Amino acid sequence: ETGVTQSPTHLIKTRGQQVTLRCSSQSGHNTVSWYQQALGQGPQFIFQYYREEENGRGNFPPRFSGLQFPNYSSELNVNALELDDSALYLCASSDGTVLREQYFGPGTRLTVT
Amino acid sequence: AQSVTQLGSHVSVSEGALVLLRCNYSSSVPPYLFWYVQYPNQGLQLLLKYTTGATLVKGINGFEAEFKKSETSFHLTKPSAHMSDAAEYFCAVRLGGGGADGLTFGKGTHLIIQP
């Protein structure tokens, strides 16, 4: 069974640029959630995709957007990067059942300069 | 809306001593509660969870937690600390039942183990 994988591991971007982060969900999982973890903080929920549609969103602006593909992998896109977007971005997948448990990937460390 | 408060950003215990990490939550409906551990430069690993049923929950690595509805608490304990337990610990809450999975996390507690 393959776990949740994320790419790239690290990324450095300049303010105002756009970035795309990728996540492959665990085998058999149809739901993907994205979280932002700033340094020294707990993760914050960005949004969730279930069967290719967004079905939940946290308190993040529209410049944070996503996609989920038919194989349930997912992308997180961030436009017009700001310095405060520097964080660890975590992807988590689950199987969509009532007692669903989220399995986290190792994260992508984004630095905005 | 739900929220989580973790008391103590840093907790230091001696190797072999009791570990107690505190978590209080607020939720408008019966919650699902979780404890995750994060080692440096890694993602989150689930230690244990409470959904329904028995209020004392046992997890991996000898950790357990007790759901106390009257105190809105879900404190994490381990009888005897090991050096390998040094890590960041996060308590999280999610609304029970259907709907989006978004977890609400506390700010975390850094556990330090003294030799």
Residue A49 pLDDT exceeds 80: yes
Read off the pLDDT band of A95 (50, 70, 90): confident
Side-chain-side CA neighbours of residue A16 (13 Å): 0
- Would the CB atoms of A56 and B51 count as touching at under 8 Å? no
A60: contact with B, CB 8 A cutoff: no
CA dist A105 to A29, A49, B3, B8, B47, Å? Answer: 13, 16, 24, 26, 15
Rounded to 10 degrees, the C-alpha dihedral A19/A43/B89/A5 comes to -40
Residue B2 pLDDT exceeds 90: no
Residues A85, A100: Cα–Cα separation, whole Å = 29
Residue linked to tokens 């809306």: B1
Residue A1 pLDDT exceeds 70: no
Predicted confidence at residue B101, as pLDDT, reads: 66
Amino acid in the structure at residue A72 = Y
For residue B42, which residues of chain A lie inside 8 Å, CB to CB? 106-107
Predicted confidence at residue B44, as pLDDT, reads: 93
For chain B, give the mean pLDDT.
91
Q: What percent of chain A has pLDDT over 70?
A: 96
Read off the pLDDT band of B98 (50, 70, 90): low
B46: contact with A, CB 8 A cutoff: yes
Average pLDDT on A26-30 reads: 87
Average pLDDT on B93-106 reads: 74
- pLDDT tens for each residue of B24-60: 998 877 788 999 999 987 889 999 999 888 889 999 9
Q: Find the length of chain A.
A: 113
Predicted confidence at residue B95, as pLDDT, reads: 67
B103: contact with A, CB 8 A cutoff: yes
Predicted confidence at residue B40, as pLDDT, reads: 86
Distance from CA of A107 to the nearest CA of B (A): 6
